[in-house]
């Protein structure tokens, strides 16, 4: 096979994988938003399926460019392996991970807010309005983090909508990438 034909074949399979993954994400987004009363267990299972699919895609992408030894390529491989592991844990132990997921996200929000609060003074020195906005956003992050830790079941609807929006956006982006991928 000539290099031009081989490249065309690889581009076809890359496009097909991107479209299939994009459709999977859009379907996952539909289910996330259409069943807002569902427990975090169902959401954890959906996230697990998408994480495995996304992880496999990242690993396959790395294997295609493994001769590239940049930290970005190796980081993509590490992320792919991590996504597959986390995805499988979510699929096989969704009840255990569903509660833990809310607490972990709550802790993540708190850590992010603490980091952000450390920068408010610097931002405010550069722009008073931006500093006040940064302070308000970080206080909102603290409130959300505490809410998730104290009662992880309250924000089920909000999390479902956010996950759906993320899945829709990622899915559409992958389909657009497939459509406009250069040969």
Alpha carbon of 82 to those of 51, 88, 111, 143, 167: distances in Å?
9, 10, 21, 29, 19
| DSSP letter string, the chain | --HHHHHHHHHHHHHHHHHHHHHHHHHHHHHHHH-TTS-HHHHHHHHHHHHHHHHHHHHHHHHHTTT---HHHHHHHHHHHHHHHHHHHHHHSHHHHHHHHHHHHHHHHHHHHHHHHHHHHHHHHH-HHHHHHHHHHHHHHHHHHHHHHH-TTTTHHHHHHHHHHHHHHHHHHHHHHHHH---
- Can you tell me the distance from the alpha carbon of 108 to that of 113, in angstroms, rounded to the nearest whole number? 9
Please check whether residue 11 lies inside any domain of the structure. Answer: no
Please check whether residue 182 lies inside any domain of the structure. Answer: no
* 58-75: burial string, b at 16+ Cβ within 10 Å, e else: bbebbeeeeeeeeeeeee
- Contact, 148 vs 109, CB < 8 A? yes
Structure-token pair, residue 68: 């590239």
Please check whether residue 126 lies inside any domain of the structure. Answer: yes
Please check whether residue 142 lies inside any domain of the structure. Answer: yes
State the total domains in the chain: 1
Domain encompassing residue 115: 96-152
> What is residue 39's predicted lDDT score, i.e. its pLDDT?
53
Please check whether residue 145 lies inside any domain of the structure. Answer: yes
pLDDT per residue as tens, the chain (183 positions): 455 455 556 688 888 999 999 999 899 888 877 766 565 677 778 778 988 998 898 898 888 777 766 776 787 788 889 889 988 988 898 777 766 777 877 887 888 888 888 888 888 998 899 999 999 999 998 998 898 888 876 666 677 777 788 888 888 988 988 888 777
Please check whether residue 58 lies inside any domain of the structure. Answer: no
Please check whether residue 2 lies inside any domain of the structure. Answer: no
Please check whether residue 128 lies inside any domain of the structure. Answer: yes
């Amino acid at each position: 096979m000539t290099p031009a034909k081989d490249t065309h074949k690889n581009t076809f399979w890359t496009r097909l994988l991107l479209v299939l993954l994009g459709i999977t994400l859009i379907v996952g987004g539909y289910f996330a938003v259409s069943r807002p009363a569902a427990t975090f267990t169902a959401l954890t299972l959906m996230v697990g399926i998408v994480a495995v699919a996304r992880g496999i895609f990242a690993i396959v992408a790395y294997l295609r460019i493994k001769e590239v030894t940049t930290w970005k390529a190796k980081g993509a491989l590490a992320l792919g392996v991590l996504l597959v592991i986390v995805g499988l844990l979510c699929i096989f132990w969704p009840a255990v991970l569903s509660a833990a997921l809310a607490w972990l996200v709550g802790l993540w929000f708190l850590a992010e807010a603490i980091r952000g609060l450390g920068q408010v003074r610097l931002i405010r020195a550069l722009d008073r309005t931006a500093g006040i906005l940064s302070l308000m956003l970080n206080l909102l992050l603290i409130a959300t983090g505490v809410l998730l830790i104290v009662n992880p079941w309250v924000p089920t609807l909000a999390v479902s909508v956010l996950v759906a929006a993320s899945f829709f956006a990622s899915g559409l982006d992958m389909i657009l990438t497939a459509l406009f991928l250069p040969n």
